[in-house]
Structure formats: C-alpha cells, structure tokens
Structure 1
C-alpha cells in the first residue's frame, strides 16, 4: 500500500489515448489489487472537458469501476448533475447515482 499526496493521475484507453485526469489532495494505492482511493478535493476531467467533483472516489480494478458514497457534481456541456453516491465506468459514460438532481441527458437511477 502506498499513501499519496498531491495526487495527479492520467488515465488512458487500451490504444494509449488519454481519457481523463484525476487530481486530489491525498490518495491510497493498493499494489496487489490495483485498487485506489483518492481523497480531498477530488476532480476528474475527461478529455472532452466533462468534470466530476467529489471528496472521495474509489477505483476497483477487478470491477473496472469507480464509485463514491459522498456528494458529487458532474458537468458536461449538455447536463449538470448533483447527487450523493454513484458508481461509473472509468470513462464516466455510464453513471448510476443516488439522490440525484440535475438537468439534461440520460442518467441511470438505481432500482428504476
């Protein structure tokens, strides 16, 4: 396990093209599992400028999924979404969220 400070991570797709960047104040990386947690002013920016802001985000390598149980704000050119807790694919193309408010675009709500 590695404890991280002033985290800046760039994510790439399978072809090596950049998909997003993550910044946060702190983080924990688990070497064996490949899982990661980022904490404190977490900001994820996709290459198309879509932005997610939250206080804690977790990445599960085995599930290939990011999640949080904290409040979040997700902005794209066509939608603005706020909620508490979500799961998503690493590219934030499919997001399932709890207690959502917002406008525009398709969004998957749990148990709907």
Structure 2
C-alpha cells in the first residue's frame, strides 16, 4: 500500500479554509479529503500534473522551493493536483508515497503566499 502523509503546510491551509467556511461545508470537505487519501493509497498518480505557471512573486517562489526541497528529501519528484469540489489539492508522489502539500480554492490562481 502507498503511504499518504500530510505536510504542515496542507494542515495550515485547510485550517484557514475551515475558519471561513460553514461547518457543514467544512465537514463535506473533510469527507472528500478522506476519500481522496483512500484513492491515493491505491493510485498515487491519479491527479493531473501540477502547473506552477502562476507562482510569480519572490515569496511564492521561495514557498515553492521549500515544498520542492521537502518533496526531494522524501524522494518524491512528481507534483500533481487533484480537484475536490471547488478546491485543488497539491501533492508530491512516487510509486510508494504521497505527501499532500497544499489546498486552495480552485478560483485562486496561485499556490503559496500569492494565494493569500
């Protein structure tokens, strides 16, 4: 089975989303994340390849470098995105491991600090 981990950055992004979301919507999102994790345990490359074209500011580029370093330390060199309702999940993966790195509202065009 594939190991799925959650990075601190993912937890922080999820907490920020839940702070501004109605309780029912928050519960629905958590359920979707649990289902995604179950799918990733079977098919780690199910998401589309991540596109970082919108990471433009120096702060977001530094954030992306940190994410890439964390992924490289875990020997995860492929970044993918998965869509849940109105949210995008960014994760790094290999054939044996997945790390969820970020969640953002789908209409936000950016990852990292640009998305704030």
TM-score computed with the length of structure 2 as normaliser: 0.25
Structure holding more helix per residue: 2
Asked which structure has the greater RCO (Cα within 8 Å, sep 6+), the reply is 2
Structure holding more strand per residue: 1
TM-score computed with the length of structure 1 as normaliser: 0.26
